[in-house]
Amino acid sequence: MTTDHHQQYIKELYQHADQNLAIIKDSSVAHLIVHDNKVLGSHLIDGLTCNIEELKDGIRAGITIAENKIITKPVQICFGMLPQEGIQKIFMDITIQPKASVAIQAHCVFPFAVNIEHIMQANIHVHEHAVYSYFEKHVHGNKGGIKVLPKAKVVLDPFSRFKTEFELIKGRVGEIKIDYETTCQEKSVMDMLARINGRAEDIIEVRETGHLVGREAKGVLTSKIAVRENARAEIYNKLTASAPYARGHVDCKEIIQDNAQASAIPIVDVRHPKAHITHEAAIGSVDNKQLETLMSRGLSEDESTELIINGLLR
Amino acid sequence: MPLLEIKNLSLSYNDKIIINNLNIEFTQGTIYAIVGPNGAGKSTFSSIIMGLSDYRHIQGDIIFKGKTINDDTVDVRGKKGITMAWQEPARYEGLSIFDFVNAGAPDKDQEKIENTLRLVGLEPKQYMRRAIDKTLSGGERKKLELASILVMKPSLVLLDEPDSGIDIDSLQRIFQAIEILKQQGVTIVLITHSLTVLKQAEYAFLMCCGEIIDQGKVEKIIPYFEKKCLVCPHKNIPDLDHQL
């Protein structure tokens, strides 16, 4: 692939992601752009190291944020495939060294997928007093021919903070199976959120697990899912607490319409008398009062439903 | 021609009569009150006029601007200019105040929306991007509902218990908004059992057991409402002597 081809692919990926290309021209912003198994572009900044190996059907990346380094502007990552078919495997080892801080904004772009598998496996270690946030937005096409299989194991050292947000709202989901597991040491804080909008024959499975093993560790697992037509969603959120003053909450909200099916299985497992975990799950159609309030302002039932679902998934 | 005409309106649930043969007319630009004790059928009446899904199996006719609207769904009635504020407004997780108000605004004019929010006491800078979730109090949601009604330029507004769960300052802002709607020629129907709210109206209907047992200028209804209704030991039992 020539440099011209790279530039063209980057342009297309960013167009589909609805992102301004100017952001990757900013020298103060680190970025990594991967198409298929090729690194199309990367830019590192002081304090961020990245070792990348191109594999047969993906890449392996080791990303480290140096101790005490505060990276103020979010690192931009783009993974994608423009062809209709293929496999993209991403293996990531992310280390946030003590007292470092970084946010990553990742766009995963598969606009024409007919038969694509996007597999991601991440090992993340957030060291003491470090802060890491990861926002992943998926942009899919309308054919639904894609399997997304993200898996992450996260270790939070004492006093560290970790926030992750997964968004798949635009285009068809296809099939997605999220499997994240986080272990939280003393006074660390974890916040994991998934927002997914399924339709047609989409299949959604979310498994988020948090283990609050350290004293005063805190964690929240949140899932906001909308399914319509024949889509199916299964949410398994598990939060365990085994240390004094560990605090956690599991929250699952699912809106279903048409012939869609949704289930939520929150598991809270508390093994210390001074720990406390709560959970809340709500599955149902759009609330009638919400709907009729908007309809009384002149919106059609479909417009009202769309507004309510978009609000929930925001 | 009246703006809204109710003819022989009745509604029953499991053989229990909730609304019994109502005949009422509402003219344009007037503030009405429907007063009566809890359970009299006041909120049911407003729900029927709005066409809410559990209140469609009625007998009689609802005529708006000369045409029957019995078969119109809520959104069709909304488009025709009938709207309603609920006693306990809905919460919407994630939906912002701006998006909610903007949804019903015909001209989608941000400046107008901001001015309207300011008018009801919701400072735009502080509130525009906030979600209508559990972080918003009941009083704030009531003011928000009124803002969304003000921007939609309706013809008929049904306000169900506009004073419930709000403080005095908020109530004054709500009364101010009602006055603005009246100046715009909007017909307002206040559903209430509060004397303070009743006094905002020009004309009132006294309702008990799903029937209108008296009507007239507010000055006429107030004494009866004060002396009998507010102290009535028999909740929702019509005073037959008064009817006779």
pTM exceeds 0.90, yes or no: no
Q: What is the DSSP letter of A93?
A: E
Residue A309 lies in a domain: no
Mean pLDDT of A142-150: 95
Interface residues of B toward A, Cβ cutoff 8 Å, are: 50, 52-53, 73-75, 77-79, 82-84, 86, 89-96, 99-100, 103-104, 106, 131, 145, 148-149, 152
pLDDT higher than 80, residue A291: yes
Verify whether the Cβ–Cβ distance B92 to A298 is below 8 Å.
no
Q: How far is B101 from chain A (nearest CA, A)?
A: 9
What residue numbers bound the domain in which A124 lies? 3-287
According to DSSP, the residues that pair with A165 across neighbouring strands are: A135, A193
SS3 of B78, please?
Answer: helix
Residue A292 lies in a domain: no
Q: How far apart (Å, rounded) are the C-alpha atoms in residues B21 and B12?
A: 11
Verify whether the Cβ–Cβ distance B90 to A311 is below 8 Å.
no
Tell me: the pLDDT tens digits for A226-270?
Answer: 999 999 999 999 999 999 999 999 999 999 999 999 999 999 999
Span B4-42+50-243 CATH architecture: 3-Layer(aba) Sandwich (3.40)
Contact A240, A212 (CB under 8 A): yes
Amino acid B240: pLDDT: 46
Residues listed for chain A: 314
The H-assigned helical ranges of chain B are 42-50, 74-80, 97-104, 110-119, 124-127, 138-152, 168-183, 195-198, 218-224, 240-243
Contact A302, A274 (CB under 8 A): no
Residue A300 lies in a domain: no
Q: How far apart (Å, rounded) are the C-alpha atoms in residues B169 and B127?
A: 18
Q: How far apart (Å, rounded) are the C-alpha atoms in residues B161 and B141?
A: 13
ipTM reported for the complex, 2 dp: 0.93
Q: How far apart (Å, rounded) are the C-alpha atoms in residues A73 and A30?
A: 8
Using CA of residue B113, residue B114, residue B119, residue B124, what is the dihedral sign? positive
- The residue behind tokens 């001074």 is A274
**Of the candidates B78, B92, B99, which has its C-beta nearest A296's C-beta?**
B78
Residue A71 lies in a domain: yes
Q: How far apart (Å, rounded) are the C-alpha atoms in residues A301 and B52?
A: 12
Q: How far apart (Å, rounded) are the C-alpha atoms in residues A309 and A39?
A: 36
Tell me: the pLDDT tens digits for B57-68?
Answer: 999 999 999 999
Q: How far apart (Å, rounded) are the C-alpha atoms in residues B172 and A44?
A: 59
**Of the candidates A253, A288, A297, which has its C-beta nearest B53's C-beta?**
A288
Query: How much of chain A exceeds pLDDT 70, in percent?
Result: 99
**Total domains present in chain A:** 1
Mean pLDDT of A99-118: 96
Tell me: the pLDDT tens digits for A167-186?
Answer: 999 899 999 999 999 999 99
Residue A248 lies in a domain: yes
Q: Which residues of chain B have pLDDT under 70?
A: 228-244
